[in-house]
Amino acid sequence: MDLLFIFIGLALCNLYLNFKYINILETTISKNRFVLMIYFLVIAQVFEMYNLVASASRFKTTRNLFVTTVVCVLAYLYTPILTPVLPSNRIDILIFFLSIFISVFVWRNIYIFTVANKKFYKYILLICGQEDTLKDLIYHVDHHSRDHAMYGYLSEKEVDKSGKFMDVSKANLDEVILNNNIKELVVSLNGFTKENTDLLNQKLAYYFEQGINILSYEDYIERITFCVPEKNLTKYFYKYFNFSENHENRLYLFFMRCMDILAGVIGILFMLFLIPFVFIGNLIWSRGSLFYKQERVGAKGKSFKIIKFRSMVASAEKNGAQWAIKNDTRITPFGKFLRKMRIDEIPQFWNILKGEMSMIGPRPERPEFVDELGKQIPLYGIRHVIKPGLTGWAQVMYPYASTLEEQEKKLRYDLYYIKKRSLFLDFKIMIKTIHTVLYFKGQ
């Protein structure tokens, strides 16, 4: 819809403002249009135009759209060969910018007042027998669900005043679903009596036949939080967790290795360009060695030496290995800048080129921490089934982890990536990484 409104806006400019820089009214397939589409979609992803939470806010939408349009127009104007030469009439540049901004602004406001309005949300009904599971579900629907509104919950007793309670032994479930246009049921039958469980199973089979979507508690939590549910990290994990089909897909693995090699070469060239600047910065604000090496655990539990630009004081670990924390006093003033911009990570392109790391995967941890976490967090070792990455799903979704609880949370994101690994998810991670760098969200 963004692209449709952009082309409508440009076509109106062609008709009424004598705008010739991009002629949408031409019937032939144009490289210029295709490049504009790619630029806008990629840049809009970086600046969170397709984040459903941000897209429901008029302020965030306007802010993100303005930045997206500026970057898109500049990229389009200043990429020779791919795009037309600069227009001779400079007013066309302003028309080009305004046509994109105003067109998408109009569409996004239509979206906010219609699709994003809660009146148009898909209503769901929770069917749950255990009190703690039900409370967890209600919390996640309220805080993580992007386009769902909870009609109520069906249980054997009331556990939360914020939702509409329906007693499983008294409620007419058929009428509730029919009269309230409920399109999805989220179910956890644990905790119900055997009689109620048998009755609900019969009804659920009927509703499924009627086209109502039915999700288990675990699948629903995973879908809206984008991480593996905490309750799945048990000795019965194999019931809920499996490797992505791409785990052994040779074409996918070959493609990713080619991308790693290409990224490694480009990254090392970029590092060579940065070394003089980092050296001067170190000399002034962070005296000491330029690089440092550290042992990390890689794929299949094998150790390797990671290389980074030094961002901490030379005596950072005189008392042994320590977790890096937010506002860590061991980080030098220049090191804070390196970390915010993720520049300290750039030498790891050498590890990527050697095949010890990949562009995307779980972050490699130190052996001391791996041993400690493996004893306290079930299934922690599963994250080593693939190569560690320069960036990853856990890093872009949950950047800080200085406690056991936070490490467990990051593990759930890592397991989600291992379970859902795909080119599309890899693309999302790269886009989110660029967003992290541009908005100075590095650790």
Q: What's the pLDDT tens digit per position in 284-319?
A: 888 888 998 999 999 999 999 999 999 888 777 777
Residue labelled with tokens 């302020």: 59
Condensed to tens digits (0 to 9), the pLDDT of residues 107-133 reads 999 998 887 776 667 788 999 988 888
Alpha helices by DSSP H, 114-192: 131-144, 173-179
Name the least confident of 99-103, 179-183, 256-260.
Answer: 179-183
Condensed to tens digits (0 to 9), the pLDDT of residues 23-78 reads 888 766 788 889 999 999 999 998 989 987 788 888 999 999 999 999 999 999 98
DSSP E strands, 347-433: 358-360, 389-391
Q: Which of 146, 178, 145, 119 is nearest to 55 (CA)?
A: 146
pLDDT at 119: 65
357 touches 302 (CB < 8 A):
no
229 touches 241 (CB < 8 A):
no
373 touches 403 (CB < 8 A):
no
Number of domains in the chain: 3
For residues 307 and 264, give the distance between their C-alpha atoms in angstroms, rounded to a whole number: 13
Q: Which of 357, 358, 379, 361 is nearest to 370 (CA)?
A: 379
Task: Provide CB contacts within 8 A for 128, sequence distance 6+.
Answer: 134, 137, 153, 154, 155, 186, 187, 188, 191, 217
Last residue of one domain, picked from the residues 225, 258, 282: 225
148 & 45 share domain: no
Structure tokens at 229: 């549910």
106 & 154 share domain: no
420 & 402 share domain: yes
Cα diameter, the chain: 79
**Residue 277 burial class via C-beta count within 10 angstroms: exposed 0-12, middle 13-18, buried 19 and up:** exposed
For residues 161 and 187, give the distance between their C-alpha atoms in angstroms, rounded to a whole number: 20
pLDDT at 370: 92
The CATH number given to whatever domain includes residue 203 is 3.40.50.720
DSSP 295-337: EEE-GGG-EEEEEEE--B-TTTTTTS-----TT-TTB-HHHHH
128 & 109 share domain: no
134 & 209 share domain: yes
189 & 258 share domain: no
402 & 263 share domain: yes
In a domain, 230, yes or no: no
Structural domain harbouring 306 = 245-438
256 touches 244 (CB < 8 A):
no
